[in-house]
């Protein structure tokens, strides 16, 4: 659904740009291609790793580890799993819902979802290419710690 | 040719590892390969409009405009804009990094770029709607309300931990990336 919006928006902007200045538009497309080609090798590695991970991990294995009774230890484990896995959102939320149904707790799920989205161990090579080692490590570490706060608050609010 | 092999050496190594894995465990290996193939298709579908808009942004938006809206001294306006652009995005987080590089080239403030990255990672609007559907409104709304101050706080912490020189180096590097 949102890809329809994005394609329409990009097409309209591209058309406007083309009507205004052909040369600039050509340059924009060249830059777009270069920016894409620039990270393609890292993209491809990341995608293979995702494939590997999703083939090994499934909802049963994960929910066995992070049950509602698992407490803070479960939250830590959930954060670690969330950090090292890279699952696209449209798979992640149904997976999280399934984990809940299979007995995972809200606190653990909050930690899992939060680290899943904010911490990316697998994508670090891509991030380092743009932000350098220090900023990348800082961002991921801060997001990891932050996810515990999210887990704590969600654990209090959602029962 | 040699250059291509060198650039894609990790990919080639990963493919080789995957093939070995498939020989060891055929069922899981094939599953992993089919998931990867599916992911590549998804990537090729989602990513083109992002990069086209990134190219247009690079060519059409003058540096002065970017500095005025998201640069040093853009204040609250810059923060809100960073959150909005990041939240309106689509696609995985690694799609945000090239966009961030263009922002840097155009002179956006470092903390605003980090806020943009944070928003892209976790407050995307399409994802939020999907989260409500899967985990309930209470869960999704609570998380969103914690996340917005959270990503701003994280951005300021990271900015504080980096020296001016280190940030300048990141900006210099961004110029070479397109």
Q: Which of A55, A86, A139, A140 to mutate to test the interface with B (most CBs of B within 10 A)?
A: A55
Looking at the fold, whether B117 and B166 belong to one and the same domain comes out as: yes
pLDDT of res. A60:
73
Q: Give residue B140's pLDDT.
A: 95
To the nearest whole Å, the CA of A68 is away from the closest chain B CA by: 15
Q: How many CB atoms lie within 10 A of CB B94?
A: 24
For residue A3, the chain B residue with the least C-alpha distance is B46
Backbone angles phi, psi at A152, to 5 degrees: -60, -50
Mean pLDDT of B143-167: 96
Q: Can you tell me the distance from the alpha carbon of A50 to that of B121, in angstroms, rounded to the nearest whole number?
A: 17
| Nearest beta carbon to residue B135 from set A35, A88, A97 | A97
How far apart, in Å, are the Cα atoms of A10 and each of A5, B77, B83, B154?
9, 25, 20, 31
Q: What is the pLDDT of residue A157?
A: 94
DSSP state of B109: -
Q: Is A12 on the interface with B (CB under 8 A)?
A: no
Q: Name the residue of chain A whose CA is nearest to B91's CA.
A: A88
B158 and B84 in a common domain: yes
- What residue numbers bound the domain in which B156 lies? 61-175
Q: How many helices (H) and strands (E) does chain B have?
A: 10, 0
Residues of B in contact with A158 (CB under 8 A): 136, 138-139, 142
The answer to whether A105 and A69 are in contact (CB under 8 A) is: yes
**Which residues from A are below 8 Å from B34, CB to CB?**
51
pLDDT for the residue A84:
86
Handedness of CA B24, B30, B32, B33 (dihedral sign): positive
The answer to whether residue B73 sits within a structural domain is yes
Q: Are residues B158 and B107 in the same domain?
A: yes
In a shared domain, residues B25 and B69:
no
Q: Is B160 part of any domain? A: yes
- CB neighbour list of residue A66: distance below 8 Å, 6 or more residues apart: A74, A75, A77, A78, A81, A99, A104, A105, A108, A109, A112
Span of A52-56, B17-21, B95-99 with lowest mean pLDDT: A52-56
| Three-class secondary structure of residue A67 per DSSP | strand
In chain B, the number of structural domains is 2
Is there a single domain that holds both residue B114 and residue B71? yes
- Is the pLDDT at B98 greater than 60? The verdict is yes
**Same domain membership, residue B120 and residue B41:** no
Check B143 against A123: CB less than 8 A apart.
no
Closest-CA residue of B relative to A98 is: B134
CB contact under 8 A, A48 and B117: no
CA dihedral A3, A5, A6, A8 (to 10 degrees): 120
In terms of Cα–Cα distance, which of B92, B156, B99 is closest to B122? B92
Q: B168 lies in a domain?
A: yes
- Using a CB-CB cut-off of 8 Å, the residues of chain A touching B28 are 55-56
Q: Kindly report, residue by residue over A67-122, the tens digit of the pLDDT.
A: 777 888 899 999 998 998 777 676 778 788 888 887 888 999 999 999 999 999 98
B163 plus B76 within the same structural domain? yes
CB A111 within 8 A of CB A96: no
Together in a domain, B148 and B107: yes
Q: Which of A41, A93, A130 sits opposite B130 (nearest CB)?
A: A93
Query: So what's the pLDDT on residue A4?
Result: 82
Residues B149 and B81 in one domain: yes
Note whether residue B53 is domain-resident. no
* Same domain (yes/no): B38, B93: no
State the complex-level ipTM: 0.84
Are B68 and B115 members of one domain? Answer: yes
Both B18 and B88 in one domain: the answer is no
């Amino acid at each position: 659904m949102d890809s329809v919006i994005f394609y329409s928006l990009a097409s309209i902007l591209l058309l406007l740009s083309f009507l205004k200045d052909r040369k600039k538009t050509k340059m924009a497309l060249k830059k777009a291609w270069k920016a894409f080609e620039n990270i393609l090798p890292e993209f491809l590695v990341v995608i293979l790793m995702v494939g590997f991970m999703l083939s090994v991990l499934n909802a049963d294995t994960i929910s066995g580890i992070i049950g509602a009774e698992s407490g803070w230890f479960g939250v830590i484990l959930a954060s670690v799993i969330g950090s090292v896995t890279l699952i696209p959102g449209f798979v992640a939320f149904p997976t999280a819902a399934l984990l809940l149904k299979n007995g995972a707790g809200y606190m653990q799920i909050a930690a899992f979802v939060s680290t899943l989205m904010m911490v990316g161990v697998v994508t670090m090579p891509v991030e380092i290419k743009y932000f350098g080692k220090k900023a990348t490590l800082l961002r991921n570490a801060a997001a990891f710690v932050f996810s515990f706060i999210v887990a704590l608050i969600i654990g209090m609010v959602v029962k | 040719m040699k250059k291509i092999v060198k650039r894609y050496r990790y990919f080639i190594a990963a493919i080789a590892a995957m093939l070995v894995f498939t020989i060891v465990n055929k069922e899981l290996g094939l599953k992993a390969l089919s998931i990867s193939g599916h992911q590549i298709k998804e990537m090729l579908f989602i990513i083109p409009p992002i990069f086209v808009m990134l190219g247009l942004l690079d060519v059409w938006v003058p540096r002065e405009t970017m500095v005025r809206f998201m640069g040093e001294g853009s204040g609250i306006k810059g923060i809100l804009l960073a959150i909005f652009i990041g939240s309106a995005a689509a696609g995985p987080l690694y799609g945000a990094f090239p966009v961030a590089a263009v922002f840097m080239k155009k002179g956006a403030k470092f903390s605003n770029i980090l806020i943009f990255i944070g928003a892209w990672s976790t407050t995307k609007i399409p994802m939020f709607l999907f989260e409500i559907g899967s985990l309930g409104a209470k869960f999704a709304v609570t998380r969103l309300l914690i996340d917005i101050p959270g990503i701003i706080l994280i951005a300021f912490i990271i900015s504080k931990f980096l020296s001016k020189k280190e940030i300048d180096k990141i900006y210099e590097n961004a110029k070479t990336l397109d």
